[in-house]
Structure 1
């Protein structure tokens, strides 16, 4: 498949940049090899997933009775 001027592998062309996020992703696709770009996306997804799990652990660790008692003392 041959790309025309202004086209970038991954489906995002220069004319389709509508936000700063799109511009950053376009720059990454141009500057980084496909494997590096995919690795960055996978790493960020893992970070977000770890944050969700950590938030769930914090919510589950303290019993609701202890939270209520602490609020009553204040």
Structure 2
């Protein structure tokens, strides 16, 4: 089998060779990058939720539900500041 490709420039030839040789690796790298982006978004959402719980803004309206008015240990009842939920 003979593959005949007309190359217009050295750059085009290099891009063609790179696309043929590295295609599976690039696909895998893109998948890994997208997985990392999704995990980062989940961690950011967890951090926002933890910050809201600590400051008392988690669904509270007015000052009645804030940590300052709820008494000592109200922020601790939600769990440690560094804890985050594990989603699977």
TM range, normalised to the smaller chain? 0.3 to 0.5
Select the structure with the greater relative contact order (CA < 8 A; seq sep ≥ 6): 2
TM-score by length of 2: 0.40
Greater share of helix: 1
TM-score by length of 1: 0.46
Larger radius of gyration: 2
